[in-house]
Chain A
């Protein structure tokens, strides 16, 4: 479709699109701006906010509060931990379904997906109860397990679609070349699947990082990740615009950056391969 587009139209497109993009992005931009302003300036009118002096003090204050780094650490451990845990279970399962499909493969995949559709609130109390019984309430391990379980269907599904794209021929060639099952997976499948696995990890870290039902309901002080930490700002006495902004920026920045890298995978991961 190589056709000359009038530059007039291109200019209009550009202006409109940038305008809308700016509008949608504005709340995030505003958080970033407020996070660099003094607390007293942050509640003034927008013009006054913009002209007020810039400062890093909010970041150092938030950073200095030891519990912030603890919550950040919790987020990292829980999101990566649950993803790695999920990967360990999902890789073999996805391998089997992609390369040794049986008549039941499709049903199993669909069933796995259906567990994802279960509304969390419907099973809140049983999980809560079990967590108390097992001493998992407000522990990172407990949260890691729950987030692994809610994301497992997506992990398996994504890996399945990536594995499916690897031609069976190549694995058979390896088998003909004398590779054992272990060597086949180690030397041929894994290197070829690494891009897909990386995208899967990325998307699931994002989903786990932002999960805000179980993290709010199953943690108190010790294991609370950033979602719960930020929610604690909702009480009025904890409300400081600039510090809230700084904390928010630190909570979302890592994921925002990871997210921008995973745009394409996002579509595949969240539509279960139904939109490509």
Chain B
């Protein structure tokens, strides 16, 4: 079991309130991602759940029991750190065995669990090496191994992939998702990368300045962002946000259209503009088009390869059903 509830949890460092009181429920077996820009309080929130920081007020419940005053070690949670935090003076085997040793498991039981975890994570050949002799991806796997042997109620991941290079990151992302499907244990995952959030999460919690902006499935967030912050944060490339007359025409203070929801044409369309830089990815082409609709260039996606000269005149048409409208407070208008 691994249900985690936060009741009016808040955190202040001295006079500065990093996290204003918030409520959140994470169901057993869910993969929840905390996402937000750096400094939004997502790591602090994770550390409050872990017990590495004291909450200033409120309650943390784990499986319905108040864990607010419980020491981190006793919360049945396992954590994977951004820096992996492997014990450099211990072999991989000893690293993975450490939590079991602390729990005073007998040797045979320890060996069995280590062997199982090593097999799952492809670490069997490396068990006698020191962390210093491993690659980044392998260290990451050791850190995960150390977490899974404990069979915790929930896993906490603090930006675990940010120290890996791009190619490895994609691979590890899949491995962690795979692990979740297999273990069916609650996972809380902190990242600033919205792609990780979208691809891995059952439920995303978007945080900004310590406040929850929106909670929902990746698709909900993509289709119906609650405010301009979420609209701008989720989706890649970023949603085009347009203020002023164009928005007023639709009865909104701001409208938002994703690059993939704008049609580009050489002949006709609602907005006209000139093509700036174009980015060719092969699968897609992104154009930055300076239009009369907004002072900033709009990003437009065209599927497949499409060639337009720098400075060419083009016409853009947003798909009406996929235009998001926001009021003066940045909140979504239905």
Contacts and interface: CB of A to CB of B under 8 A. Distances in A.
Direct contact of A and B (CB under 8 A): yes
Given A172-B52, A178-B102, A178-B103, A188 B72 contact: no
A177 B73 contact: yes
Nearest to A190: B89
Given A169-B81, A169-B83, A178 B73 contact: yes
Contacts of B89: 191-192
A262 to B, nearest CB: 21
Given A183-B102, A192-B88, A192-B89, A176 B83 contact: no
A20 interface: no
B112 to A, nearest CB: 18
Contacts of A120: none
Interface of A is mostly: helix
Given A169-B81, A183-B102, A176 B72 contact: yes
- Chain B contact-residue range equals 20 to 34
B190 interface: no
Interface string A163-191: 00001011011111111100100011001
B271 interface: no
Interface in B72-90: 72-74, 77-79, 81-83, 85-90
Given A167-B85, A169-B85, A188-B87, A177 B52 contact: no
Nearest to A170: B85
Nearest to B156: A176
Contacts, number: 62
B146 interface: yes
Contact of B73 (A167, A175, A191, A192): A175
B81 A173 contact: yes
Contacts of A172: 50, 52, 72, 79, 81, 85
Contacts of B98: 174, 177, 179, 187
Nearest to B82: A169
B99 interface: yes
Interface string B139-182: 00000001000100000000000000000000000000000000
Interface of B: 50, 52, 71-74, 77-79, 81-83, 85-90, 98-99, 102-103, 146, 150
